[in-house]
Amino acid sequence: MNKALVIDDEPQMRRLLRLLLESRGYQVTEADEGLRGLQEAAFHRPDVVLLDLGLPGPCGLEVLKRLREWSDVPVLILSVRDQEITKVEALELGADDYVTKPFGGAELLARLQVILRRRGPRHTPVIAAGSLSLDLLHHEARLKHEHLKLTPTEFTILKTLAEHAGRLVTHNQIGRFVWPQQTTDFGEVLRVHINHLRKKLTDSDVRIINDPGIGYRLEVHAGEAARTA
């Protein structure tokens, strides 16, 4: 089942899109403003985003720009704006298609199918680092083949570090993935979550290394892996 995120400030439009998408088997999540949309995209990891441009808070183009900093999820713009310059700007920022309101349901569904087909089938992604494995589809973590209990925030932090294992990831880079609605002051709250993660990774071959004032790095210690195997 494909997951769709609808970001639109009009309740009637969100209701219409939900009915249309659910009739074709989509699982639908809604957001009524830009920051909420970014948060839902980070948490739910949709297969496609339907994005309005006239949003309160960050406008649709700004949401698209921020989204493209950390995600390649297909984005279909739905807007009453039909100026060529706006369409070009949206496509240059990374939108996959642009549909002008009002639109026909059949056309919208067809365009969604084209976008998803063009992107190809999504794999069941699993990130492995030493004895740690993260199933991104089911949001499950395992350490030495045992279930590792993590909060959603801890999972996202660990995923971000594991994707860049061996490389330094700055506080701001981690923060943009975990708390996309914030822009600054990630350091202190991030430190608390990192300390919790370190405790949960104790006695394993996986270490979270701190570069004071800059960020964190996930490292795998082969010697420890041999002792714990």
Q: What is the residue extent of each domain of the chain?
A: 3-119, 126-228
Which residue in 146, 201, 203 sits closest to 218, CA to CA?
201
Which residue in 58, 25, 63, 62 sits closest to 42, CA to CA?
63
226 alpha-carbon distance from chain centroid: 34
Quick one: what percent of the chain has pLDDT higher than 90?
Answer: 58
Between the alpha carbon of residue 9 and those of residues 6, 52, 79, the distances in Å are: 10, 8, 11
Q: What is the CATH number of domain 3-119?
A: 3.40.50.2300
Q: Token pair of 187, please?
A: 């350091």
In the structure, what pLDDT confidence band is assigned to residue 202 with cuts at 50, 70 and 90? very high
Q: What global pTM score does this model have? A: 0.57
Query: Integer distance in angstroms from the first to the last C-alpha of the chain?
Result: 37
- Do the domains 3-119 and 126-228 sit in the same CATH topology, yes or no? no
Lowest mean pLDDT segment, chosen from 52-61, 87-96, 113-122: 113-122
Which residue in 194, 223, 220, 225 sits closest to 207, CA to CA?
220
Query: pLDDT of 15-39, one tens digit each?
Result: 999 999 999 999 999 999 999 999 8
Domain covering 126-228, topology: Arc Repressor Mutant, subunit A (1.10.10)
The secondary structure of 161-183 as a DSSP string is: HHHTTTS-EEHHHHHHHH-TT--
